Structure 1
Amino acid sequence: MFTELSVLYAKYRPEKLMEHLKLFWQRVNIPKVIKAAEQAHLWSELVFLYIVYDEPDNAALAMMERLGDWDHDQFKKVVVKVANMEIAYRAVSFYLARQPNLLPDLLAALTPRLDHGRVVKILQTEDHLPLAKPYLIATQKLNLAVVNEAYNDLLIEEEDHVTLRSSLETYDQYDAIKLAKRLENHELLEFRRIAALLYRLNGLWEESLALAKADRLWRDALETAAASKEVSVAEELAGYFVSIGNKDAFAAILYVCFELVRPDFVEEMSWRFGLSDYSMPYKLQLQRDQSTKIAALEKEVKELRTKTAEKEPDNEPSSLMGSGLGQRLMIGGPTGGPPFMGNGMPNGGMMAQPTGFY
């Protein structure tokens, strides 16, 4: 009875069908009523029946294809349950075309189930990447290359160099060399500094120093030389500072790269270009370090000698009695012959016969 009444409502009194279904949907033959609602083009009722019949895939498709009045909250609850993820990706494209302002909320609901690379590709194809900025920020914690690169591209477009530097230093999955080549000719100085940073982080010292020299960013150059841990890089930069007459920077590199520049190199530069006043702090510190090392070495040698002396055995000669305590001495005969044996006679007790008496 409830099923037939639903069919009649769909045909003759469609305005009463939704109220009837909300009250008695558990007592009707839902597939039959679905067919009747579809024939009568009652899309809201059709979606309701799909939802209560636990068919989220059909409900989501019906909402995207047929509903005029959009209920975002209802669709969001339905689309997160779909079994076929193609419907979810179709929903992303649908929102880009019909509900762009609601796209971030939809992506936030679908994030755990989405293939982020595919979503980013859809957004880039439609040229609507800025709409998904909250989604990119939320998913960047996964440190995926496709998400990082998309977010970095968006920050470059927005000229947000502060956030871009933070992103590059925090998440390392991206093509650093490609990005550095893109930024090294950027019109803004801060982006060229980021390019130098990327070269430094990837061990390309010459490229990083070349950008720093071109923009006269001496601090960045000093940090690159110190990060290289290479004598040749530090001394080449020191020679460059001398060649351009930047004495202060020469003194700075002797401080920053103290362990990398060689003393003979510093002496030569000081002598040839009159930089004794600028290199004197380096020389004094070098002498102090050498004195400290020599003092520590002398202390170590002294302690080692003390420990060695304590472990050495007593070398004084021991007395005969002292060495034979607890042992019987084997004393030889008066003429150095064999020892007495048995009854005190030599040669086992057999005395030699005298000759010439008999």
Structure 2
Amino acid sequence: MEQISAGQKLDQAFGKLGKEKTISFQLDLDTDAQRLKALDASSNPEPGEEIPDEVADLLSDATISVTAQSKKPIDESGEKDFVGMAMKVRAHGGDIVEYRVVGDYTYIRSDAKLLGKAMGAPVPSAEDLPPEAGGLKKALDGEWVKINTKEMAETAAEPGTEPVPEPTLDARTQKQLLEALRKTVAREVDFETADGEDGAERITATAPFRTLVGELFGEIRPLAKKLPPGMELPTDGDFKEVPDAEVTADFTLKNGELSEVYVDLVELAENARVKKLGLVVRMTEGQSLRAPAAATELDIEEMLGGFGAAMMGTEDFGEEVGLPEEGFPVDAV
């Protein structure tokens, strides 16, 4: 009865999420830089390919916030139904980078100093650019800038070719994949329930990782023809090197709604020095996505040329990238 009850409660909690039109959550790793370095060392990287200290510090400290907004409930939405996406990376005491996709534009802002610290290399500052590069200066000063999303895709495409649309899943196939996941979980996962803090309920799910993943892809294979091009499914042989250690996930429910998921990955690390390694997902209140006011519009080719000039030095910047005397266009949103 406990198995049925816990499974039903989780199913209902995820069902409630699927009925929302906006969903927001935060992701972060529960570990530290030293453990990440130890985990990397156990993979025997080639000399010079070890994980840099800055990257280990960033991964251990970063919190990623994500929001998706649709015209329909999430569980009924296909790719074309989503009207807004947003992501923000926070680390080292501040927001490193944030972007939003709303309407025809992608909006971006960043903290150049924090970004340079995270990358382990200095990022060009606004002072490195000439006066006419007004839009880029705003970007490097942490103000909102915007780029036409369609033009950005066209610039990234090969010259003379149409940009290739991103692979998408229709709503029907998404539901079939979700059903495959539910069947696998019901068959392979063991559940236990316990009381959490502040009246919350904790449901612990445990399963052997290789078996769980192998069974899941076994359920998905009949749907392979419905998947977008390029989404190739792994074969049974691909799972031979995957650890079959038991992985535990703790789900916290408050008033029947999912509030947090903690996945303990220590056993998968297979490293005695890595005693703490978890993935945390925290649900947050869904925020309506809006275009930032007074964002400065950037010309993509001039932007790329401007950053290149800043990295190489600003001498003859205007001649190299062909900047107009009036500078970058500015458009208030």
TM range (shorter): under 0.3
Structure whose residues are more often helix by fraction: 1
- Tell which structure's C-alpha radius of gyration is larger: 1
Structure whose residues are more often strand by fraction: 2
Higher RCO (C-alpha under 8 Å, 6+ residues apart): 2
TM-score by length of 2: 0.21
